[in-house]
């Protein structure tokens, strides 16, 4: 079911795309306020509503000022399925959007975020922004972007960058609308759906811009893994499992991927190797890209 709040204004070129689930409802007012403070306001919010009661949603939105139109699309599925169904709906309705700005409904954005990414999307198929992590309720925990220093000299990426690690997430990436016309009819539900999704729809000719000027305030909780975290046995095993799942779906016969899987399997089968690997990675004090740690392990293990 789709509900639209009607506003008298020119058609929007930008669609902010997000999913609202039960766990993010308590942050929804703050999310709307963050969008309402944007320097660029001619956008729609397309919200996939995952099992949130309509009266709760309406109550929050009626009490929150917002200059933009909110479109509700109700669907309850997995993390990737929710987004695929919502994007497919946008294609079917033949909207005239030029840019899709993916955001997580429990995060916050800098005031010029949509202005910067929509401007950059005129020249680049994909724009990915840096993250400033903060704890669940305290935005002032940090003011340091986590990837700026590592990518400051490499602002233009291509899809090969995503083979062994990822920085493109459903909360910090914007794309040309035309890219979603490449969507398949069916998708698996992998452990790293954002990594799989962006790698799957992009081609070698698509250009990715890392935008250090646009900032996402990235709310930290148990399922988020970016920035300033000490590695543990459990986290290393999860990283490996995600990477194994990703390679099995996308690079099943790729020699480099098979080598990395074999190396990390050997490490995980030896308690001493696991401990040494964790110590090695923690001592490096690197803000790793998502799922990048095992690549460093492969290098150290084979030295």
Looking at residue 4, its pLDDT comes to 46
For 62, the 3-state DSSP assignment is helix
Max CA separation in the chain (angstroms): 65
Looking at residue 7, its pLDDT comes to 43
End-to-end CA distance of the chain: 57
Residue located via tokens 């070129």: 13
Contact 205, 162 (CB under 8 A): no
**CA-CA distances (angstroms) from residue 228 to 145, 149, 260, 284?**
11, 14, 25, 12
Q: Under 8 Å CB-to-CB from 285, ≥6 apart: which residues?
A: none
Looking at residue 5, its pLDDT comes to 45
Beta strands of 38-125 (E only): which ranges?
43-49, 69-74, 99-102, 108-109
Residue located via tokens 């083979």: 163
Looking at residue 2, its pLDDT comes to 47
Token pair of 191 as six digits: 């452990």
pLDDT tens for the chain, residues 1 to 303: 444 444 445 678 999 999 999 999 999 999 999 999 999 999 999 999 999 999 999 999 999 988 899 999 999 999 999 999 999 999 998 778 999 999 999 999 999 999 999 999 999 999 999 999 887 655 555 578 989 989 976 789 999 999 999 999 999 999 999 999 999 988 999 999 999 999 999 999 999 999 999 999 998 765 555 554 688 888 889 899 999 999 999 998 899 888 888 888 888 899 999 999 999 999 988 889 999 998 888 777 766
Which of 99, 22, 77, 91 has its CA nearest to residue 193?
77
Looking at residue 229, its pLDDT comes to 67
Contact 75, 86 (CB under 8 A): yes
Taking the C-alpha atoms of residue 134 and residue 222, their distance in angstroms, rounded to an integer, is 13
Q: Under 8 Å CB-to-CB from 25, ≥6 apart: which residues?
A: 52, 56, 60
Taking the C-alpha atoms of residue 220 and residue 77, their distance in angstroms, rounded to an integer, is 23
Which of 54, 48, 41 has its CA nearest to residue 18?
48
3-state helix, strand, coil in the chain (%, to 5): 40, 20, 40
Looking at residue 106, its pLDDT comes to 94
Q: Under 8 Å CB-to-CB from 144, ≥6 apart: which residues?
A: 132
Predicted TM-score of the model (pTM)? 0.91
Taking the C-alpha atoms of residue 165 and residue 294, their distance in angstroms, rounded to an integer, is 9
**CA-CA distances (angstroms) from residue 285 to 80, 102, 195, 230, 268?**
31, 29, 23, 9, 22
Taking the C-alpha atoms of residue 43 and residue 216, their distance in angstroms, rounded to an integer, is 18
């Amino acid at each position: 079911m789709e509900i639209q709040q009607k506003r008298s204004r020119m058609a929007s070129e930008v669609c902010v795309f997000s999913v609202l689930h039960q766990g993010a409802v308590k942050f929804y007012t703050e999310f709307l306020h963050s969008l309402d403070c944007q320097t660029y306001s001619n956008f729609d919010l397309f919200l996939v509503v995952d099992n949130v009661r309509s009266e709760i949603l309406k109550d929050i939105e009626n009490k929150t000022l917002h200059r933009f139109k909110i479109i509700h699309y109700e669907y309850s599925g997995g993390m990737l399925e929710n987004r695929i169904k919502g994007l497919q709906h946008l294609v079917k309705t033949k909207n005239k959007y030029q840019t899709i700005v993916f955001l997580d409904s429990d995060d916050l954005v800098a005031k010029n975020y949509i202005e910067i990414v929509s401007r950059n999307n005129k020249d680049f198929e994909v724009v990915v922004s840096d993250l400033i992590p903060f704890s669940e309720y305290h935005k002032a925990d940090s003011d340091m972007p986590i990837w700026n220093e590592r990518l400051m000299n490499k602002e233009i990426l291509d899809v090969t960058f995503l083979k062994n690690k990822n920085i493109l997430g459903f909360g910090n990436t914007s794309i040309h609308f035309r890219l979603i016309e490449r969507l398949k009819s069916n998708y698996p539900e992998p452990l790293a759906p954002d990594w799989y999704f962006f790698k799957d729809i992009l081609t070698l000719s698509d250009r990715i811009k890392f935008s250090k000027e646009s900032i996402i305030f990235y709310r930290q909780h148990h399922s988020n893994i970016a920035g300033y975290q000490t590695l543990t046995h459990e986290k290393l095993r999860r990283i490996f499992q995600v990477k194994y799942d990703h390679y099995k779906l996308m690079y099943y016969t790729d020699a480099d991927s098979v080598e990395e899987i074999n190396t990390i399997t050997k490490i995980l089968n030896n308690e001493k190797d696991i401990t040494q690997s964790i110590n090695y990675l923690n001592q490096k004090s690197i803000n790793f890209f998502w799922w990048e740690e095992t690549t460093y392990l492969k290098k150290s293990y084979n030295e």
